[in-house]
Chain A
Amino acid sequence: MIIICNISHRFTLFPMEKCIVRYAIVLSYLLCLMLQGCSQPMGFYDPNMDFGSIHTVAVMPFANLTDQNKAHERVRDVFINALLASSPIYVLPPGEVARGISRTQVAESASPSVEDAQKLGATLGVDAIITGVVKEYGEVRSGTAQANVIAVSLRMMEVQTGKVVWAASASKGGINTKDRLLGGGGQPMNQVTEEAVRELVNQLFH
């Protein structure tokens, strides 16, 4: 409790109260830092990787762990366009990637092995391969509230070494307090998808 006294001069704090104020400031700062840490998306960067050396990437077909059969295609399309639009990296056309997969006979195109990734990268002439998993896509309900939600994870493998040099996840949408109290259907699915994809692209070029 801070006691502010206005006696002869304006707003004077006693020594005890000064100490409390200092503690409160330090505590709130630490709390802010902790909360900021919680809100930051999980990500991995290879500290030895020079991301400036990546000029062309191939975005592999994403794995789909949802019950929406077109979810992985939608998210992949949005991601390819967002990557082209907001970065100097050139993304190989999906048709060319499909041809490369067919030529190299990669069995697990959504999660290729190191050897497969290297072989595919050499065939396609790309510097890196991006794979992805769509973990959640669609509507969630809680009581009377409902909203759209998406959860995506991406990984980037460098073709030369076959190492994972970047990995990140993003989840957007869902039911918030406002939805619970006031109802409402949340944001449209395409908007939620764009937000998640933009966050992933920002993480890649942060």
Chain B
Amino acid sequence: MSLLTSFSTKAPFFCAALLFGICLALSGQAVATPVLEANSAQPLVAVLPFENLSGAPAPLRQLREEMIKALRNQCGIAVLEEKALEDFMAAHRVRYVGGIDSELAVAFRQETGAQSVLITSFEFQDERVPLKICLTSRLVSTANPPIILWMDSVGLSGDDSPGLLGLGLIHDPAALRGKALARLASSLLETLEGRAVLPGSAGKFRPRIVFRSPVLAPGQPYVLAVLPFFNRSDRKNGGDLMALQFIKELARYEAFQLVEPGVIRQVLLRARIIMDDGLSLSDAAVLFSELRADLILSGKVLDYQESLAFSGSPVVDFSALLFEAKSREIVWASDSHNEGADGVYFYDWGKISTASDLASRMVRSVGSLIAQ
């Protein structure tokens, strides 16, 4: 009990110190905010309104409030006040909440004192049995350029762990939401405390066809930009969802420094790059120069389908292409296709119930091969 009490009282300060340290270490050109830093003991995190990639109405406000609560209670993080965030967003006319560009990041730091911004994308929710929820969240520093400090996703289903006589089934949407948010908060805490471990990837999720050029040197540090994938699936925002999965999995490797998607979006808009059928070499040249990236990852999503019925399983199909800046050539190409029931033979043991979870495992496998 005393141990628990001791941990619960010290954890917030410990996390705060670590978060502050990471922000300072990673943000080379960080703009100092002496007033706020002197007054506040904890680094401030601005939690942006959630981005809805589900293609359907979702209880985003409620989810965000619960997320803030989890961050405060579980991680001991100080969250920027609602009024200050609203004023800032109104002043800068911030409508896009799926990322931040460099200018906005600096403005955040200077005007609100937030050292980092939490960006969350709501992927999917199904309130029919079995319940499902999928979220992706990332913590981005307010440096110039903004750096992804942490990123993780969660895809849960109410029947993930049915247990004995179905006692483990979750029928309450609020309980599943709480579990998902707690898992995200726990992942953030692990990263802040330096306890995060690289998850393994199962062989059944390996891409079917792989090309790797010798130009792609293993272990060499690369600045990598992941473009939104071309969506040829029936799932709305399938391309954005797949790009987020790649960013999340590749950000785990020290060799890759991922460019914040908000920065990429800003460059694509400013350079008026419209890609109809993939990235052309001239567009790639512009992006390499503007983003100062060594690699650009692009791809196509052909299927991003949730399980349609109780007994069904999700299907994910995508191809990925990696371009290298110096050679201006494809240095990696892969083709992946999996279903949630792949390799499941006994009583749904090992079955994956959400497309988000399936995509995450498939991309993890691709990421580990790229990073090798």
Contact = CB atoms under 8 A, between A and B. Distances in A.
Partners in one complex: yes
Interface of A: 61, 70, 73-74, 77-78, 80-82, 84-85, 90-91, 93-99, 102, 188, 190, 194
B280 A84 contact: no
28 contacts: A73-B232, A73-B300, A74-B302, A74-B317, A77-B300, A77-B319, A77-B335, A78-B319, A81-B209, A81-B333, A82-B209, A84-B211, A85-B210, A85-B211, A90-B330, A93-B279, A93-B281, A94-B277, A95-B275, A95-B298, A96-B280, A96-B281, A97-B278, A98-B280, A99-B282, A102-B276, A190-B317, A194-B209
B290 interface: no
Interface string B263-291: 00000000000011111111100000000
B214 to A, nearest CB: 12
B334 interface: yes
B293 interface: no
B124 interface: no
B211 A81 contact: yes
Interface in B242-271: none
Contacts of A98: 276-278, 280
Nearest to A80: B333
B176 interface: no
Interface in B143-192: none
A198 B277 CA distance: 24
Q: Describe B's contact surface by its main secondary structure.
A: strand
Contacts of B335: 77-78, 81
B208 interface: yes
B283 to A, nearest CB: 7
Nearest to B299: A77
A70 B232 contact: yes
Closest 4 CB pairs of A and B: A95-B278, A98-B277, A84-B211, A94-B278
B371 interface: no
Contacts of B337: 188, 190
A84 B276 contact: no
B231 to A, nearest CB: 11
B321 interface: yes
B313 to A, nearest CB: 12
A99 B330 contact: no
A99 to B, nearest CB: 4
Nearest to B338: A190
B225 to A, nearest CB: 15
Contacts of B50: none
Contacts of A80: 333
Given A84-B330, A94-B278, 7 more contacts: A61-B277, A73-B302, A81-B209, A81-B210, A90-B329, A96-B281, A97-B278
B205 interface: no
Contacts of B210: 81, 85
A84 B317 contact: no
Nearest to B277: A98
Contacts of B317: 74, 190
B208 A194 contact: yes
B114 to A, nearest CB: 37
A93 B232 contact: no
A95 B208 contact: no
B350 to A, nearest CB: 18
Contacts of B319: 77-78, 81
A96 B334 CA distance: 18
B323 interface: yes
Contacts of A99: 280-282
A91 B209 CA distance: 15
B283 A95 contact: yes
Contacts of A194: 208-209
A15 to B, nearest CB: 58
Contacts of B339: 188
B208 A190 contact: yes
Contacts of A81: 209-211, 319, 333-335
B370 to A, nearest CB: 14
B284 to A, nearest CB: 8
A62 B317 CA distance: 19
B330 A93 contact: yes
Contact of B279 (A78, A85, A95, A102): A95
Contacts of A102: 276
B302 A70 contact: yes
A108 B208 CA distance: 31
A173 to B, nearest CB: 15
Interface string B209-225: 11100000000000000
